[in-house]
Amino acid sequence: MPIETAATSDRVPFPFRPSPVAPRRVARALAPFLALLAPLAAHADGMVDTVTVLPPVIVKGERALVPERTTATSVRLNRGSVTKFLPATASDALIAVPGVDLVKLGPWASRVSFRGLSGDRVLVLVDGVRVNTVRGHGAQASLVSLDRLDEVELLPGASSAQFGSDAMGGVINLVTHGSLLSNEPRLSAMVSARGSAPGDGWEQSARARLMMPSFGLELTGGLGGLTSLHTPDGAIPNSGDREEDYSARVAARAGSALFDFEHTHHAARDVGLPAFSNASGATGSYPLQQRDAQRLEMHLPGSGILSAAQLLAFHQSFRTHFDETTVDSTFLRGRFIATTTHATADRVASPAWSIGPQLRFKGPGALRLSGEYRREETGGPRSSRETVRYATGALASDTTTTGESIPPARRDAWSVAAFAGQTLHSLRIEGGTRFDALRSQADSATNSSTATLDVTDRRWSAEMGVARPIGSIEPYLHGASGFRAPNLQERYFNDEIHGGMRLFGNPDLRPERSLSYEVGVRASDAWGGVLRGTRLSVYRSDVDDLISLKYMGQLYLVPRFQYVNIERARIEGIELTSELRLGGVGLTLSAGMPRGVDRNTGEKLLDAGTPRATLDLTLPLPGPLPYARLATRVRWNDAVAGVDSSFARPAFTTGSIELSSVFSGFRAVLAVHNLWNVRYREPLSFIPEPGRTFAISFRHDFDLPLSNPGITP
């Protein structure tokens, strides 16, 4: 993959003059939304406005992915935090969280790095359903629309005792579900739109929700797109995308039992990947990234010592279409004679099924037992075309072949787990363990590079933590193990990559392993309520058997690489978060100082990230705008130094500002990103960040009258 060098930072001093083109582009993006609102405004007298101003703060909510796990660090972002400053994707909404970095191949195609571990070493969930696939490369958080997000929960550090494979760097749960049952019948709707310029980004969505005591229904839909990534140096080619998203969800109560079923569809089309572009004509794109999922959740009351029973089952399918073109030049005695163009097209399908029961017991320890069976598959054709053209322009050869980069492969996973927690004389003690067995298989095919096509990995994981509140202060200590089983690409891949290299999988790979420790202190509701919450923690993770690529030499002048276990790493750091509120003024500070080293060589690891700090200030604005609030953010990131110059990044400081108001039943937000129009890249990103960008959003939530008495059960 071509990696561009970082651009030099260039700050433009205030005052700045906004481009006159930007407002027109934003207005054009919002025009369909305004047309949609016209008939709604005509019937506004029959609607009850339910717009609320959500405080953009980090909070600890009642609902949690693992509610009884309180001796470890967890971060909860409510909807106000997620949508603050109008981020373009779900990944962008997490950038202020300590320990989070973004690995970007394009504006849409970004993956999360968490405490120095990225790709499949970070487990991403959507309402408890894993979106990491057996194909590898990590989860795409952009496959969840921002308009559907209610909150995000982040659990940093190893968590395999709770979630199994892939939970080495941490777990990120994207929450879209709220309760669909209500004591009183209620019919509500929501419409929203967002536009940004330059770059012509836009997004429109709508939701209808019916809530009753024993039945609930929710329908959502949305469209969006981006014309191009626009940096301080201008528009970046091959960087746009367009998206579609819809879902239908039903909840029902039968006696004391609760049932919740949902179907979701999200597709991103024509996704440009500017990280693959270079001056010779190389390009890369995702013609399609799609996720379709059916999710069923059941809650059943217990009896006797059984407190409750729960079942989570899902079926989902991922479709990934990836096109790549590379161009090489041939020289003879220093004279250019021909170009060779390699064009590949992968069409990959990765379906998965899972069923996971859970039992909760009464009594000492509040024991929780859980298990899971999961089957994941992957496969799909690859077509390759090689064109050789002489310097004169004449065609020398044009050949097309069809095959598979991975033979049809599958993985079956079984797990059982137990977790318990008890408070003894104010000392909270928690612990859990889990056993995972993962069987990977591939069909025998012409591109199977080995006869070992059936491999089983077995792993035990454990965690333990203690915490003791002392007034409003609570020190805590937590230790846990994590692991990641090799994905099916790392085991069975056998094909060319990037036009001129051969990559082989390795069935003999061992699972990656990690051991994490964290000690910290946190406080809440101190100083008469001024200090809403704070956390200071120190962590360390020792990682063994990291999987990487090893150069195996050349055959017929073709470089060959293979996945092998070669690395041992140590990642450690300090994190600080603090939230203060005085009246209507809120101040949030977050900072992190990570460090990573190769335990074999002592060399610095780039993936650990760099020191960083973020300061958010929110305050009410008196004046003609009703319920107006002003929010500002200043973010500093240290330089990436002491590594190969290709990965070096200068330090940068960026600022954002947001003005929000509620008027006539609408919540309007105007945000400006990158106020100083700085040229910069995130430390682990392969593309530059947008320049100064103007974004505007309108959202209207309202209740519709239920005049038909027959609708009430």
Distance CA 536, CA 75 (A): 13
The confidence score (pLDDT) of residue 431 equals: 96
The confidence score (pLDDT) of residue 696 equals: 97
AA identity, residue 115: R
Label residue 236 by pLDDT band (50, 70, 90): very high
Q: Which token pair is 442?
A: 């591939």
| Mean local confidence (pLDDT), 235-261 | 96
Write the CA distances from 520 to 2, 257, 477, 591, 616, integer angstroms.
40, 39, 7, 14, 23
* 190-226 per-position pLDDT tens digit: 999 999 999 999 999 999 999 999 999 999 999 999 9
Distance CA 76, CA 122 (A): 17
- Window from 312-326, 382-396, 407-421, 436-450 with minimum mean pLDDT: 436-450
The pLDDT of residue 44 is above 70: no
* 60-97 per-position pLDDT tens digit: 333 567 777 889 999 999 999 999 999 999 999 999 99
Which residues contact residue 530 at a Cβ distance below 8 angstroms, ignoring those fewer than 6 apart? 580, 581, 582
The pLDDT of residue 447 is above 60: no
Highest mean pLDDT among 418-432, 491-505, 598-612, 639-653: 418-432
* Pair 536, 521: CB distance under 8 Å: yes
Write the CA distances from 53 to 62, 83, 238, 576, 662, integer angstroms.
20, 12, 37, 27, 8
Q: Which helix (H) or strand (E) holds 394?
A: none
The confidence score (pLDDT) of residue 65 equals: 74
* 368-377 per-position pLDDT tens digit: 999 999 999 9
Q: Which token pair is 493?
A: 């891949």
Question: What 3-state DSSP class applies to 500?
Answer: coil
The pLDDT of residue 111 is above 50: yes
The confidence score (pLDDT) of residue 389 equals: 93
Location of structure tokens 């889990």: 434
| Mean local confidence (pLDDT), 32-41 | 45
Give the domains, in start order, of the chain with CATH numbers.
21-707 (2.40.170.20)
Sign of CA dihedral 3, 6, 7, 13: positive
Q: What is the DSSP letter of 188?
A: E
Q: Which token pair is 165?
A: 């494979």
* pTM, entire model: 0.89
The confidence score (pLDDT) of residue 432 equals: 96
Residue 440, judged by CB atoms within 10 A of its CB (0-12, 13-18, 19+), counts as buried
In terms of residues, how long is the chain?
713
Q: Where are the beta strands (DSSP E) in 180-214?
A: 186-197, 201-211
Location of structure tokens 């509040």: 366
The confidence score (pLDDT) of residue 195 equals: 97
The confidence score (pLDDT) of residue 532 equals: 92
* 129-148 per-position pLDDT tens digit: 999 999 988 899 999 999 99
* Pair 329, 383: CB distance under 8 Å: no
Write the CA distances from 76 to 42, 61, 65, 184, 310, integer angstroms.
39, 7, 10, 29, 23
Distance CA 142, CA 681 (A): 19
Which residues contact residue 152 at a Cβ distance below 8 angstroms, ignoring those fewer than 6 apart? 76, 77, 81, 82, 90, 93, 94, 172, 173, 174, 175
Q: Which token pair is 115?
A: 């405490």
Distance CA 693, CA 686 (A): 20
Query: Could you give the maximum distance between any two Cα atoms of the chain, in Å?
Result: 88
In this structure, are strands 612-620 and 585-598 parallel, antiparallel, or unpaired?
Answer: antiparallel
- Window from 207-216, 237-246, 290-299, 389-398 with minimum mean pLDDT: 389-398
In this structure, are strands 122-126 and 170-175 parallel, antiparallel, or unpaired?
Answer: parallel
Distance CA 565, CA 391 (A): 43
